[in-house]
Amino acid sequence: MTATKTASKKAVSKKGAPVEDVSGKAAPARSATGKKAAPPAAAAKKSVSKKAAPAKAVAKKTAPAKAAAKRTAPASGDGTKTAAKKSVPAKTAAKKTAVKKAPPGQSSVAEPPRDESHTALVRRARRINRELAEVYPYAHPELDFQNPFQLIVATVLSAQTTDLRVNQTTPALFAKYPTPEDLAEANAEEVEEILRPTGFFRAKTKSVIGLSKALRDDFGGEVPGRLEDLVKLPGVGRKTAFVVLGNAFGRPGITVDTHFQRLVRRWKWTEQTEPDKIEAAVGALFPKSEWTMLSHHVIFHGRRICHARKPACGACPIAPLCPAYGEGETDPEKARKLLKYEKGGFPGQRLNPPQSYLDAGGIPAPPLGAG
C-alpha cells in the first residue's frame, strides 16, 4: 500500500511536475513530509523491468508486499522488495530453531551420540558401574542364605515374588528341612503350606522337592559349582545358576533379572531383549571379574532409584551419563520421595543383611507377620 502511494506521488506532484518520460528522465518530487524522495530512476530499477512502465506496473509489486507484511514490519518508501528479501532469512531461521527445539518437557533429556563407537560405549558403561560402586559399596544379594543349598532354593522361590517375601518364608522352610535329603523326603502338602505366601506355591513346591532329589541322587547332596550341572536341576535356569555361582562359589556371572534388563536398555548398553543375548552383550563391555558385582550394582539401583514406572531421575547420581534422563520425575524434591529401601529410610529386603549394609544406615526387614 505504501508503494502504491509513492507511485501516485511520483505520477502527480503538488507542483504538477510530469512523471518520468520513456527515456527515464524525471523531475525531482517531494514526499509528504517535504523531504527529497529517492530518485525515481533508482526506484524504478528495483521495482519495475528495464522498460519503464507507468504506475500500473509498480502496483503489481504491492501484492508480495502484503504477504511480506505478515512476516515483517511495514516497509517505508520504496523498500517493498527489500522487506520481502529480509523476511526470507527470518523464515529460514525459524525453521532451524523448530528443528533444534526439544519436545515439551524433554529439554533436559540427555542424548548419547548417535554414532557412539564401541570404545565410547565401553567407557561410558564402565564409568556408570564405577559411579554405582560408590553409591552402593554395600551391594549384595538380597536373599538370606547361609550355604549354597539355601541360596539355590531361595532363588528358585524368588520367581514372581519379592526377595522380601522369600526371606520371610524360608526361615520356616529351612528350620524344618535343613538339607537336600530332608526336603527330598518332605510331604508336598506341608511344603505347600509353608510356601503359600510366595505365590505359585504348588509349582514351587514341586521344583524345590525335585531339586532336592536331584542333588541327593546325582550330586551326593551337594550343590554343584559348574554352570552346565546347575542348569540341569529342576527349576534352575541361567539366571539362578549365575546367582549361585557368583555368590556361593565366587565365580563371576551376570544376573539378568527384570531390573537388569530394564536398566541396561535405558542406558543403551544393548538393544537386545532376550536374557541370553543381554548377558552376552553386557558381558562384552566389562572384565569377567566384575560381572557379579556389576549385577548387584545395577539391580540395587533399579530397586531403589531407577524404577520401572516412575524413575527418580532428579535424585539419580548417574543422571549426566543416562540417555533416558527425563523419563521420570526430574524435580529433586519430588524425586527424593520416590526413593526406596535404605535410600528412602525404609527397611531393606533381608532379615539378616550384611554388616556393611547396616553400617551404611540400612534397616533389616521385619519377619513374616510383623508390623
Helix 291-304 to helix 238-248 angle (10° resolution) is 110
| CB atoms inside a 10 Å sphere around CB 311 | 26
In 3-state terms, what secondary structure has residue 363?
strand
| CB atoms inside a 10 Å sphere around CB 321 | 16
* First CA to last CA distance, the chain: 83
48: left (phi over 0), alpha (psi -120 to 50) or beta: beta
C-alpha span between 99 and 266 (Å, rounded): 24
Q: Which of 185, 151, 179 is nearest to 166 (CA)?
A: 151
Phi, psi of 201 (to 5 degrees): -65, -30
- Lookup: cell for 100: 533444534
Amino acid identity at 112? P
Catalytic entry in 86, 182, 232, 257: 257
**Alpha-carbon torsion (74, 80, 83, 84), positive or negative:** positive
Q: Does the annotation mark 257 as catalytic? A: yes
Catalytic entry in 10, 61, 204, 239: 239
Phi, psi of 347 (to 5 degrees): -60, 150
How far CA 242 is from CA of 39, 148, 252, 333, in Å, comes to: 90, 12, 8, 38
Catalytic sites, residue numbers: 239, 257
